[in-house]
Amino acid sequence: MAEEHILAVARVERECFASPWTADGLRAELVSDTAVFLVALLNGILIGYGGMHFVCGEGYFDNIAVLPEFRRQGIGRAIVQALLDFARQHGGAFVSLEVRESNSGAFALYRMLGFRRVGRRRNFYTKPSEDALILTKRF
Active centre residues (catalytic): 98, 110
Q: How far apart are CA 23 and CA 7, in angstroms?
A: 6
For residues 108 and 72, is the Cβ–Cβ distance under 8 A?
no
Q: Name the packing angle between helices 104-112 and 75-89 (round to 10°).
A: 40
Among 104, 107, 103, 102, smallest CA distance to 135 is for 107
The one-character DSSP state at 22 is P
Q: How far apart are CA 68 and CA 89, in angstroms?
A: 30
